[in-house]
Amino acid sequence: MSKITKLIISLVLPLAVGALGGLATASSVGTWYQTLEKPSFNPPSWVFGPVWTTLYILMGYAAYRVWTTESEDRPGAMKLYWSSLVLNAAWSPIFFGLQSPQYALMVIIPLWMCILFMIIGFRRVDKLAAGLIVPYLLWVTFATVLNGAIVGLN
């Protein structure tokens, strides 16, 4: 497989995860979500799309760098990446589709841990790739606090 094919796959896959999350979100964001008590630090809805799109592109490029680097640590790092995508893909359908912030919190905490370990694994393969994942960890940290606050207020 060529490097350009790997780059395209690496960028499209997380964006597809985001698109699926967007579909799950769209069903409730204008209705059920509006009825929830939210903390004062809840950002406006329009912030989420651009932030997640940027993060998915960074994640994809980081994964591409790891995928195309020869290293004995690559398989473990990529397993953490795939795990993070699965957990990421599960969060929106649980939070918005099932309308369950409580269950979503039980997904986002392992997601946060997976991202942290992914950064460590990526760093063993490619330091830039690890750095590209840091904004993802920071945003999921914020999202975890927000999710927890929504659970606490509702």
Backbone torsions φ then ψ of 37, nearest 5 degrees: -75, 130
> Packing angle between helix 101-125 and helix 48-67, nearest 10 degrees?
40
Contact between residue 149 and residue 38 where contact means Cβ atoms under 8 Å apart: yes
In whole angstroms, give the CA distance from residue 140 to residue 113: 10
Which domain CATH number covers 145? 1.20.1260.100
73: Cα separation from own chain's centroid? 22
> What is the CB neighbour count within 10 angstroms for residue 90?
20
Question: Both tokens of residue 129?
Answer: 């790739």
Q: Which domain holds residue 81?
A: 3-153
Virtual torsion, Cα 64, 87, 135, 50, nearest 10 deg: 90
Q: What is the pLDDT of residue 30?
A: 87
**How many domains, in total, are found in the chain?**
1
pTM as predicted: 0.95
Beta strand spans in the chain (E): none
Q: pLDDT by residue for the chain (154 residues), tens digit each?
A: 899 999 999 999 999 999 999 999 998 988 999 999 999 999 998 999 999 999 999 999 999 999 999 999 999 999 999 999 999 999 999 999 999 999 999 999 999 999 999 999 999 999 999 999 999 999 999 999 999 999 999 9
Q: What is the pLDDT of residue 109?
A: 98
> What is the CB neighbour count within 10 angstroms for residue 14?
26
Q: Would you call 75 helix, strand, or coil by DSSP?
A: helix
In whole angstroms, give the CA distance from residue 129 to residue 114: 15
Q: Please, how many CA atoms are within 13 Å of residue 137, restricted to the half-sphere of its CB?
A: 15
